[in-house]
Amino acid sequence: MSDSTAPPPPFQQAVASLRAVRPRPELRISSVDAPPRLAPYTWAFSVEADADHDAGDELDELEPDTSGRLILLHDPAGQDAWEGTFRLVCFVQARLEPEQLGDEMLPVVGWSWLTEALDGAGAEYAALGGTVTQTSSVRFGDIAGQRREDDVELRASWTPRGTDLRPHGEAFCALVASAAGLPPVGATSLTRRSG
């Protein structure tokens, strides 16, 4: 007799494939709670990066330069807008450098980080859509901060093909690395070298 409360096998396979993702050393990955009302079955993980730290350094626990969350949604009955029974939803936020403020090409570049990461990982998908937004904030009063914060935020969702979602998880990690300004794997950033 099977446990009727257990998630369906396709969802279990999809989660297992995402758990198998091994990010590059500069990234920290952890499971997080997924919003429960978006679909009958949900699971999520977060990725944090800090371009100013070398691999193996502890990341700032409170405010990494770049962070993201990938949420897996599964509805066995499917949803028309998804064009399938699974949906991946991502959110990435990265701090901007002062020279990047107001760059009209930044949203296009930010979107290309996602599409190039998906294509580079061989992640098959459909119904891809999302937004790239530049935000600026200054804290006042009881939450006053030391400086103005300028960020780029990418929100996107897509329908993966199949239940092996490891390429999608790897693409998401590559997206976070790109947003953090990390050099390609195996390359050394000239701005981080010491003399």
Q: For residues 41 and 163, is the Cβ–Cβ distance under 8 A?
A: no
**Nearest to 39, CA basis, from 3, 61, 8, 67:** 8
Residue 143 in this model has a pLDDT that exceeds 70: yes
Average pLDDT value for residue range 163-171: 97
Better pLDDT: 164 or 142: 164
Q: What is the pLDDT of residues 14-24, one digit of tens each?
A: 999 999 999 99
Res 60 pLDDT > 70? no
Place of tokens 């409170």: 62
Confidence label for 62 from pLDDT (cuts 50, 70 and 90): very low
Q: 72 with 15: CB under 8 angstroms?
A: yes
Nearest to 21 by CA among 66, 64, 68: 68
Q: Are the C-beta atoms of residues 123 and 167 closer than 8 Å to each other?
A: yes
Q: Tell me the pLDDT tens digit for each residue of 87-101.
A: 999 999 998 776 666
pTM score, two decimals? Answer: 0.83
Task: Give the H or E element holding residue 41.
Answer: strand 41-49
Q: Which residues pair with 125 in a beta bridge?
A: 160
User: 75 pLDDT exceeds 80?
Assistant: yes
**Which position has the higher pLDDT, 161 or 53?**
161
How far apart, in whole angstroms, are the C-alpha atoms of residue 135 and residue 153?
Answer: 8
CA angle 52, 20, 15 (to 5 degrees): 115
Q: Do strands 149-160 and 84-95 pair parallel, antiparallel, or not at all (unpaired)?
A: antiparallel
- Judging by DSSP bridges, how do beta strands 41-49 and 66-79 pair with one another? antiparallel
